């Protein structure tokens, strides 16, 4: 196991941020940590990165205790910070990466090639010698990612890697993380963007009020929404009233929302029968997403 | 290796913020020199100008390193490295001290040359030794203050407060002997005072090796206190989670 967390707890003043949290992450696995603001995600990430001491319990990274063997933990862990800070704005991307690489334990030998390779890998080769303060948010975030993996860690902690990025930049970052997976890297991902989780994670941990509320493979987690697809039908005049559907009427028009437990030809045929004789102007089907399951669980 | 990497890194950072370097390393000593040039400058006054400029710069550059790193979010990644962060900080404060001392020395020399004032240094070798010690004392003071200022949220205010009293207690403005008797013992623990006495002596041809020794011992004490303070900062930060991830 790459990460083993047992009975981890941590309080700030009277507020319990983590309460008896236990889970394991296997080597090469990508696990997403989900939860609303204040659920304890950042606290857990900070403890695993050795920036914060736990109040109780234990956490081990590649067998090293995060309290007693912090240095050993750091030698096998890369941490990618979200946000605008964490880089030297007046220095170039190359100088930043070189310095952080040396902090991560890399020697001068072969450093230049390694830095160049990492910069190319995150698409910053052409901008390597520009001051970081001239970088876009996406470029900074890619540099953060390069800082995280330059020393070839075995475990990568990704804290909100795509926060504030546009769609293209976010996808580019996800692609880079996906590439990193091929080398067997274990990733613990924290993100509010569920598309990150859907594209990258094998498993989802849901933190609620500092406790692990769910620990499931991605597909099973999505299933917690309780339905497979949402069918929305719009029409005019009299409206049908199928079971388990909600209908919103606005004057002469109506909108029917139906959550179906499976979505296949038989359901489509049944729906056709239900709607026969009614004036339907539009029909749309959206497969259930992680967001639906997360919203249901988080607001439960 | 990380010590030298951190040193070069800090120098690169300061060169990138060249306006700051010009303000502290050029304008500051020039202003002081313009004031002392109203009388005929002696080696002692020129030494005092250099040390005053150096101390003022140390407070704003070396001593502010950790606080700036925290503000910019680079302290957390530094602490997460496998290298000893104390070595990193030491390298950075050394880089800051060396660069600022070189710029101040160059400014003062050039200014005296251009203004036609000749300052005679009776014992140049010992004066050079004293200058080297200045760099080390500045590093030690910067190292210690950087850690202490990080313990308080009022770091910038404390920085401002540190400049004038130390300048007075070091005897850079007026001799320590004319300070009130009860305050003079405070100057004993300020390494800059002893370095100033040694430099002045070397310039006059009578270097005070006791002052040199005391300056060196105090500098070592500053380093030790700095290392202890840093450890305290690190433990507190891990206990309270004050090193942000972003």
Q: What tokens were used for B95?
A: 């880089």
Eight-class DSSP state of B176 = G
Cα separation, A132 vs A144, whole angstroms:
11
Residue A191: which of A33, A17, A46 has the closest Cα? A33
Cα separation, B171 vs B187, whole angstroms:
8
The shortest C-alpha distance from A166 to chain B (Å) reads: 19
Q: What pLDDT does residue B211 have?
A: 93
Would the pLDDT of B246 be above 70?
no
Coil, helix or strand for A299? coil
pLDDT in tens, B64-75: 788 888 888 888
Query: Is residue B88 less than 8 Å (CB to CB) from chain A?
Result: yes
Residue B3, number of CB atoms within 10 A of its CB: 18
Residue B45: exposure state from Cβ atoms within 10 A (0-12, 13-18, ≥19):
buried
Contact A213, A206 (CB under 8 A): yes
Coil, helix or strand for A118? helix
pLDDT in tens, B195-211: 888 988 898 888 999 99
Q: What pLDDT does residue B146 have?
A: 81
Contact B76 A51 (CB under 8 A): yes
- Low-confidence residues in chain A, pLDDT < 50: none
The shortest C-alpha distance from A170 to chain B (Å) reads: 18
Crossing angle of helices A111-121 and A93-103, rounded to 10°: 120
Q: What pLDDT does residue A143 have?
A: 92
pLDDT in tens, A237-250: 888 877 778 888 88
Instruction: Please state the domain extents for chain A.
Output: 3-223, 229-298
Torsion of CA A182, A186, A191, A195, to 10 degrees: 30
Q: What pLDDT does residue B243 have?
A: 67
CATH topology of domain A229-298: Alpha-Beta Plaits (3.30.70)
Contact A85 B244 (CB under 8 A): yes
Residue A109, number of CB atoms within 10 A of its CB: 8
Coil, helix or strand for A225? coil
Would the pLDDT of B191 be above 90?
no
Cα separation, A234 vs B92, whole angstroms:
67
Could you write out the DSSP letters of every residue in A25-66? E-TT-EEEEE--TTSSHHHHHHHHTTSS--SEEEEEETTEET
Q: What pLDDT does residue A55 have?
A: 92
Eight-class DSSP state of B189 = T
Cα separation, B98 vs B10, whole angstroms:
10
Q: How confident is the model at residue B115 (pLDDT cuts 50, 70, 90)?
A: confident
Nearest to B80 among A53, A74, A87 (CB): A74
Coil, helix or strand for B35? helix
Judge: domain A3-223, CATH 3.40.50.300: yes
Q: What tokens were used for B20?
A: 């700051």
What proportion of chain B, given as a percentage, has pLDDT over 90? Answer: 19
Contact A79 B2 (CB under 8 A): no
Cα separation, B179 vs A27, whole angstroms:
68
pLDDT in tens, B71-111: 888 888 888 888 888 899 889 989 988 999 899 999 998 98
The shortest C-alpha distance from B7 to chain A (Å) reads: 11
pLDDT in tens, B160-171: 777 788 888 888
Query: Is residue B73 less than 8 Å (CB to CB) from chain A?
Result: yes
Nearest to A85 among B72, B79, B241 (CB): B72
Would the pLDDT of B245 be above 60?
no
H helices of B17-154, in order, are 18-22, 28-36, 43-60, 65-71, 75-79, 85-115, 124-151
The shortest C-alpha distance from B226 to chain A (Å) reads: 20
């Amino acid at each position: 196991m790459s990460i083993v967390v047992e009975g981890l707890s941590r309080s700030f003043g009277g507020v319990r941020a983590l309460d008896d949290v236990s889970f394991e992450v296997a080597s090469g696995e990508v696990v997403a940590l989900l939860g609303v603001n204040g659920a304890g995600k950042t606290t857990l990430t900070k403890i695993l990165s050795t920036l914060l001491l736990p109040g109780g319990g234990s956490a081990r990274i590649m067998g090293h205790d995060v309290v007693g063997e912090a240095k050993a933990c750091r030698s096998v862990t890369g941490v990618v910070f979200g946000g605008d800070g964490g880089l030297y704005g007046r220095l170039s991307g190359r100088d930043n990466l070189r310095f952080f690489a040396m902090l991560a334990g890399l020697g001068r030998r072969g450093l230049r090639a390694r830095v160049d390779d990492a910069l190319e890998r995150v698409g910053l080769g052409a901008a390597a010698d520009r001051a970081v303060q001239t970088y876009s948010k996406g470029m900074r975030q890619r540099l953060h990612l390069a800082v995280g993996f330059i020393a070839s860690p075995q475990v990568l902690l990704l804290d909100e890697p795509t926060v504030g990025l546009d769609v293209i930049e976010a996808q580019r970052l996800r692609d880079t993380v996906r590439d990193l997976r091929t080398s067997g890297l274990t990733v613990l991902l924290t993100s509010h963007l569920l598309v990150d989780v859907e594209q990258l994670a094998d498993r989802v941990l849901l933190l609620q009020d500092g406790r692990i509320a769910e620990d499931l493979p991605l597909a099973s987690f999505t299933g917690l929404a309780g339905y497979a697809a949402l069918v929305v039908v719009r029409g005019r005049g009299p409206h049908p009233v199928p079971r388990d559907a909600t209908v919103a009427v606005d004057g002469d028009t109506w909108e029917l929302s139906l959550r179906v437990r499976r979505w296949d030809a038989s359901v489509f045929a049944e729906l056709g029968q239900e709607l026969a004789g009614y004036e339907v102007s539009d029909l749309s089907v959206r497969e259930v997403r992680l967001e639906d399951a997360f919203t249901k669980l988080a607001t439960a | 290796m990380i010590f030298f990497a951190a040193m070069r890194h800090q120098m690169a950072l300061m060169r990138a913020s060249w306006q700051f370097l010009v303000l502290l390393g050029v304008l500051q000593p020039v202003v002081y020199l313009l004031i002392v040039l109203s009388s005929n400058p002696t080696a002692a006054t020129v030494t005092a100008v250099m040390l005053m400029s150096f101390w003022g710069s140390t407070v704003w550059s070396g001593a502010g390193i950790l606080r700036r790193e925290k503000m910019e979010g680079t302290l957390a990644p530094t602490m997460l490295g496998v290298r000893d962060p104390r070595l990193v900080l030491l390298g950075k404060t050394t880089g800051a001290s060396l660069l600022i001392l070189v710029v101040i020395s160059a400014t003062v020399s050039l200014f005296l040359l251009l203004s036609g004032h000749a300052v005679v240094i009776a014992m140049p070798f010992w004066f050079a030794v004293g200058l080297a010690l200045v760099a080390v004392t500045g590093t030690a003071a910067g190292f210690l203050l950087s850690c202490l200022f990080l313990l308080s949220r009022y770091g910038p205010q404390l920085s401002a407060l540190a400049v004038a009293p130390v300048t007075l207690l070091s005897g850079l403005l007026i001799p320590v002997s004319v300070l009130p008797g009860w305050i003079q013992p405070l100057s004993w623990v300020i390494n800059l005072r002893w370095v100033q006495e040694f430099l002045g002596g070397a310039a006059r041809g009578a270097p005070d090796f006791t002052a040199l020794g005391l300056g060196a011992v105090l500098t070592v004490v500053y380093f030790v206190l700095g290392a202890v303070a840093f450890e305290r900062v690190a433990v507190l930060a891990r206990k309270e989670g004050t090193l942000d991830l972003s």
